[in-house]
Structure 1
Amino acid sequence: MSIPDGYFDIPLGKIAAIVTSLEMLAPPVLPPDPAGDWSVRRVAQPGLDWYRDLYSRVGREWLWSQRLRMNDAELAATIRADGVEIYTLAHDSGDEALLELDFRNKNECELVLFGVTSKLIGTGAGRLLMNRALQRAWAQPLTRLWVHTCSLDHPRALAFYQRCGFRPYRRQIELAPDPRLDGTLPRNVAAHVPLLG
């Protein structure tokens, strides 16, 4: 489909994002782990309340809402599926990061979710989590690891993925309902995205 150059109105109640998909076709050389009081652990059977709370704390400022809109059965089927692995990063006796790896496609892994809570942004915790993600993913017989990020995410997210060895291969525009308008997320989050509608 060809889209002409120019400006286009976004319907009221919607948000628009530029989505960049990135891939890695071979394991990278990992930098040393940053110093910090963190530990990464796998959560084999994540509880739904635990998952929703962490997903919200990690992603609310970036308008993560897809998993919050799922009912219990949908969410359980998604995060407890064979081939899906959930990890968190523990800090000060609490879980402060969310990592989701999806190995369900043969020889491929999607880094579905990746993020730390706001109090750990810029501390090196994200680098540690990424090191563990890359080690775990490439321990499998992969030919491709991929991830996507968007213009609603943290402004340094795209550059971070590129520094980690991912290379962009696709760009898309995504329209979605603004989760602040239907109560999925509080109206006062994500001040970098104007609330219209």
Structure 2
Amino acid sequence: MAVAYVDVPETLVTTYLQMMSPDQFRPAFVSTPRGVEILECEAPDVDFYRFLYSSVGYHLRWRDRLLVSDMELSTVLRSPNTSIHVLYVHGTPAGYVELEKQGQDTEVAYFGLRPQYQGRGLGKHLLSYGIARAWEGGARRVWVHTCNMDGQHALINYTKRGFSVYRVDEQPMPDRYRS
């Protein structure tokens, strides 16, 4: 199957969002249909992680985690500050959310669904799960960044869950997103 890439604009617009209190969180859990579950991947290996990363983001031109060495990525995945939570639909990985503790903050470092699982309400469910885990883990602030290369509903989903924009950066599109 051919990969349909997103168009590459001339400018990369990165939007940073945050929640400063659990009171800002507006979860949107869906009544979980049979066969849908989210499990923490307690010992993710590099190959499985790259499968998740690529199947969720390759068409969006995600490349950062594909460009690092296996050793560097393995170090990130084994860190006690990193947690990977995988959404399964009838036993098949459908998406994931990656959380990274940074002192008293927790970043939603990566989040998304494989294209064939989009449009079913699973994204808001998975994001709500990830945010809840971040607050339960003792975060003082939960933050995320997205850009105009991410999925078309990403920014809307973040704001609907309670995130507020605190910064927007613009820069010429980096070459790594053009290939």
Cα RMSD (Å): 1.9
Are residue 152 (structure 1) and residue 149 (structure 2) matched? Answer: yes
Q: 1:178 aligns with which of 161, 176, 179?
A: 176
Question: Deviation digits for residues 7-42 of structure 1, max 9, x if unmatched?
Answer: xxxxxxx97410000001111242342443410000
TM-score of the two chains, using structure 2 as the length reference: 0.86
Q: Report the counterpart of residue 161 of structure 1 in structure 2.
A: 158
Correspondence for 2:85 among 84, 87, 105: 87
Q: How many residues align?
A: 168
Q: How does 1:1-197 map to 2 (within 5 A)?
A: 16-27=11-22, 28-36=25-33, 37-103=35-101, 105-174=102-171, 175-178=173-176, 181=179
How big is the shift at 1:140?
2.4
Describe the shift of the 1:29–1:154 C-alpha distance in structure 2 as closer, same or farther (beyond 3 A).
Answer: closer
Unaligned runs of 5+ in 1: 1-13, 182-197
2:36–2:88 contact (8 Å) kept in structure 1: yes
Is residue 26–residue 161 contact of structure 2 (8 Å, CA) maintained in 1? no
The structure that has the greater radius of gyration is: 1
Deviation at 1:180, TM superposition (A): 6.0
Secondary structure, counterpart of 1:30 in structure 2: coil
| Runs of 4+ with deviation above 2 angstroms | 29-37, 173-181
Unaligned runs of 5+ in 2: 1-8
Give me the TM-score of the superposition, normalised by structure 1.
0.79
